[in-house]
Amino acid sequence: MPETIKVLVLGLLGAAGCVGAAGAAGFGRADADTDILYEQSSFDLRAGATLVMPRRGYETINGAPATDPDFTRDHVIPSIAANVVLHDKARCAGTFVEVYGADVVYGPQKIMSDQRFVDLDGPGGLDPIPTANATESVELTSNEYGLTCAFGFQAGPGTAWIIGGGFLENFQYTEDTVFGTLDFDGGYEPGFRVGAAFSIEEIALRAQLLYRSSVSHSPGGTFSGYIPNPGFDPLTPPSPTNPQFALPSGLYDTSGVGTTPQSVELSVQSGVAPGTLVFGSVKWTDWSVVDTLDYTIDPSGAALPSRNEYFWKDGWTVTAGVGRQITEMVAASASLTWDQGVSTTEDVLTDTWTLGGGVAVSGERASLQIGGAINYLTAGSVAMDPDLTDADPAGANSAATVGADWAFALGGSLTITW
């Protein structure tokens, strides 16, 4: 099986996979490039990036036609991997990737729909104050630095591999709301991956099962703003027994608690004819662990608990594709991915379908992979919680629907071998 096709499969799945994850699977962005472990050179370095351009906006908000622009924003996902072959059956790879992320900005119609108001002094009196904290924008970045090793031994006609390693993952989060700005800057927390594989190099056969652990985060941060008292009686003058604000305007220390999900992926590839390779994968991600992001605003020791609600369900991602040698130096691939939406009651992360493809051009010591993807985001809706004071996952702050939308991705990577 020509080396060009194997490089192609490793390089081009990034373009299809990144846009699929960005469209549906929670905060998912990309996986670490551990496939570089199977390269045969003494040292391999691969660096690349994918530009994801999602186009998702609301179709209706609380039953009215939406006038807001798209709430998703373009973003770039970087990935770097380096592999060192220590022995014919022992190698280690260092990786860097943005594994989770989010970048959304909501329009005025959506922000207004998520608020609730209390009129001071009744109609015609002072301006109303909001009592529900609507989100204006969210920016999340979670990077992973990993080291993964593979150790092989002869098993019949091929090689069996034991895979294991660790990684460090951080958590940075900024949310602008009508009450203020919440900032978390969490340090790097440890996780691990472990798995097994079987390969037959002569026919480019490889079957791999890989587990990635969850990671618990307890980031510190700040909240800059104010929080009104939801029980404030507007017909009674403010007093210590009837405070207008639970927290007056200020800068407060904040601590948070959250968990990123574990996952298991089975991937298979094999040559099926001269110059032709097929590949596929099935991945389960434990997105149901992301129920809430709990945080505490702690002014002078008087803790004020709060939380952001998600209540996601577990997600599945299925990919199938084919690679084909075109010339001695050029190969091409195409893939189709289904990514299950994970929303239940709070938002509109729906199923997506991704068609990806690209080309690889290989030389003696370097290869260039260029790929792209078109992502179809299915329609969906979310209902309004009939009791906004109820802590159970019964619905969102406002009802909304999304129509069928599209996202696009362009990616490229360069692999250098020694």
pLDDT tens column, 207-234: 999 999 999 999 999 999 998 887 777 7
Of 134, 130, 138, the closest CA to residue 109 belongs to 134
**pLDDT band at residue 21, thresholds of 50, 70 and 90?**
very low
> What does 296-342 look like in DSSP terms, one character per residue?
EE-GGG--EEEEEE-----EEEEEEEEEEE-SSSEEEEEEEEEE---
Distance CA 176, CA 178 (A): 7
Does position 177 have pLDDT exceeding 50, yes or no?
A: yes
**Are the C-beta atoms of 312 and 285 separated by less than 8 Å?**
no
**CATH number for the domain including 297?**
2.40.160.60
Q: What's the confidence (pLDDT) of residue 347?
A: 87
Distance CA 200, CA 148 (A): 21
Beta bridge partners of 15: none
Q: What's the confidence (pLDDT) of residue 133?
A: 83
- What's CA 211's distance to the chain center, in Å? 17
214 burial level (CB within 10 Å; 0-12, 13-18, 19+): middle
Average pLDDT over residues 192-218: 96
- Which range among 5-9, 100-104, 368-372, 390-394 shows the weakest confidence by mean pLDDT? 5-9
pLDDT tens column, 234-259: 778 888 888 888 888 999 999 999 99
Does position 390 have pLDDT exceeding 80, yes or no?
A: no
Average pLDDT over residues 321-346: 91
Does position 122 have pLDDT exceeding 80, yes or no?
A: no
Average pLDDT over residues 54-63: 94
Average pLDDT over residues 297-312: 83
Q: What's the confidence (pLDDT) of residue 13?
A: 40
**pLDDT band at residue 282, thresholds of 50, 70 and 90?**
very high
Domain containing 268 equals: 3-417
Is the pLDDT higher at 16 or at 349?
Answer: 349
pLDDT tens column, 345-383: 888 899 999 999 989 998 888 999 999 999 999 999 988
Give percent above pLDDT 70 in the chain: 89
Helix, strand, coil abundance in the chain, percent, nearest 5: 10, 60, 30
Does position 129 have pLDDT exceeding 70, yes or no?
A: no
Of 391, 389, 395, the closest CA to residue 231 belongs to 389
Q: What's the confidence (pLDDT) of residue 24?
A: 44
Q: What's the confidence (pLDDT) of residue 16?
A: 38
Is the pLDDT higher at 11 or at 170?
Answer: 170
Beta 315-325 vs 276-285: how paired, if at all? antiparallel
Q: Quote the number of domains for the chain.
A: 1
Average pLDDT over residues 122-132: 62
Measured in degrees and rounded to the nearest 5, phi and psi for residue 3 equal -60, -30
Which single residue is written with the structure tokens 């992502």?
375
Does position 84 have pLDDT exceeding 90, yes or no?
A: yes
Is the pLDDT higher at 272 or at 127?
Answer: 272
Residue type, 191: G
Average pLDDT over residues 179-184: 95
**Are the C-beta atoms of 103 and 75 separated by less than 8 Å?**
yes
**Are the C-beta atoms of 44 and 361 separated by less than 8 Å?**
no
Residue 272 sits at the vertex; the CA angle it makes with 267 and 277, to the nearest 5 degrees, is: 55
Q: What's the confidence (pLDDT) of residue 242?
A: 86
Is the pLDDT higher at 90 or at 9?
Answer: 90
Average pLDDT, the chain: 87
Residue type, 21: A
Does position 70 have pLDDT exceeding 50, yes or no?
A: yes
Length of the chain counted residue by residue = 418
Written as six digits, the tokens of 265 are: 């992926």
Does position 179 have pLDDT exceeding 60, yes or no?
A: yes
Average pLDDT over residues 187-194: 97
